[in-house]
Structure 1
Amino acid sequence: MTGRRSDARRNHTHILAVAEAEVAARGAQASLERIARVAGVGSATVRRHFPTRKALLEAVFRQRVHALCEQARTLGGEPDSRSALVRWLRELLAYSLAARGLADVLSYQPLQDEATQDSCATAIGEAGAPLLRRAIDDRAVRSDLSIEDLLVLIVGIALATENHTDPKTQADRAFRLAVAGLGTDGT
């Protein structure tokens, strides 16, 4: 964003703030036209700053995803590797429920030319992988797990429960059932 004119930077910041509120209220399917209207700009301006819905959602979630990645690094120093992994997965699920649309971003399968190192899914995967590797090395979880398996699990729970009357309770129950299956004996 450096190198942009100051009015373009202001537009970008304002559009992003409006998008954050719209995504929080309406999820990943928030209308780009409504975002433009509320921001007081044309839809072409929104698309100039965020050429795809995925690009907009990535920008909306980037800061919180960064915090989840930092938490994974911090938890890497915990003595109980299984507990650290489960705690991080629980935080990822909680944020996925609170930030409507994050699960959609994490479940998106990018085309090869769209895959970027700074995408939310890439960042989350890279942050969680060392926690999983350590838990596997400690024989605290099954050795056939991958970080992709765990992300699919979290995304699936978030998407399956987001429209329940009490999504947090339902997601927590599903999470506890799934965590029981992470054991080294498959139970």
Structure 2
Amino acid sequence: MDDTTTTRLPRADARRNRERLLAEARASFAEHGTDASLEEIAAGAGVGIGTLYRHFPSRQHLLEALLREHFDALGATGRELVTSRAPWPALTEWTRAFVAATTTFRGLTGEVAHTLDHADSSLHAACLAMREAGEALLDRARDAGEVRPDVGTTDFFLLVSGVAWAHEQGRDASADRIDRLLAVVFAGIRPTTAAH
């Protein structure tokens, strides 16, 4: 009994440390962006920097832990929209969700853009599943004649990531601004013959 208790205590303590680190990182990234000091995150969680690195070997690993749920949800939403909505509404709904997820923390848009092209990134797998969901929606809308044939996946993600980046740079952080910018993108990717 005592041996079992002894072996479980460090695990429970490690779990508490991990949860405190995630909570502190979430608050710090929300306030200071993704470049927030890891040392300050560790101190705010009441642990040393070594403990932070034991749980999260890099800043990207920490971001991955915070964002995996968002990205997994985007992948699941995309897969559900493929079968439940018409092509154009499905694509626009998913795109709005993508921009919302990638503006969770200032600086995240650049991290996401980087990881989509770098398979060695710890965020790559989660981003890849999300990207595949968006690509399926884009392909479906293009096949239905709702998106210009020359708009490829890379162009599409650059455009919507640009909206997310512009949003996080400006002083107007309202949802209306995202909607206005996305309306311009949506108008630009539609063929002139598509119904508006």
TM-score (norm. length: structure 1):
0.85
TM-score (norm. length: structure 2):
0.81
Q: 2:55 aligns with which of 49, 53, 62?
A: 49
Q: Does 1:18 align with 2:12?
A: no
Three-state SS of the structure 1 residue aligned to 2:83 is coil
Q: Does 1:157 align with 2:163?
A: yes
Q: 2:187 aligns with which of 172, 177, 180?
A: 180
Three-state SS of the structure 2 residue aligned to 1:11 is helix
Q: How big is each residue's C-alpha offset from its partner over 1:87-141, in whole Å with a ceiling of 9 and x where there is no partner?
A: 1101211233344343132111478561468633212202211111111111211
Query: Can you give the 5+ residue segments of structure 2 that lack an aligned partner in the other structure?
Result: 1-9
Question: Who is 2:103 aligned against?
Answer: 97
| 1:28 and 1:104 in contact (8 A); partners too | no
Moved over 4 A (4+): 109-113, 115-118
CA apart distance, 1:153: 1.6
Residues 71-150 of structure 1 aligned to structure 2 (within 5 Å): 71-109=77-115, 114-115=120-121, 119-150=125-156
CA apart distance, 1:7: 2.5
Q: How big is each residue's C-alpha offset from its partner over 1:61-101, in whole Å with a ceiling of 9 and x where there is no partner?
A: 11122222221112112342011101110121123334434
- Give the RMSD, CA atoms, in angstroms: 2.5
Distance 2:113 2:158 in 1: 7
| 2:64 and 2:122 in contact (8 A); partners too | no
Three-state SS of the structure 2 residue aligned to 1:167 is coil
Point out the more displaced range, 4-13 or 48-57: 4-13
| 2:61 and 2:123 in contact (8 A); partners too | no
Among all aligned residue pairs of Structure 1 and Structure 2, give the percentage whose two residues are the same amino acid: 37
CA distance change for structure 1 residues 5 and 64 in 2, over 3 Å: closer, same or farther?
same
CA apart distance, 1:163: 3.2
Q: How big is each residue's C-alpha offset from its partner over 1:12-31, in whole Å with a ceiling of 9 and x where there is no partner?
A: 22211211111122221121
Q: 1:40 aligns with which of 20, 39, 46?
A: 46
Question: Who is 1:5 aligned against?
Answer: 11
Distance 2:25 2:38 in 1: 8
CA apart distance, 1:33: 0.9
Q: Which has the larger radius of gyration?
A: 2
Question: Who is 2:5 aligned against?
Answer: none
Distance 2:78 2:128 in 1: 14
AA aligned opposite 2:180: R
CA apart distance, 1:46: 1.0
Structure with greater helix share of residues: 2
Query: Can you give the 5+ residue segments of structure 1 that lack an aligned partner in the other structure?
Result: none
Count of residues in Structure 1 that have an aligned counterpart in Structure 2: 184
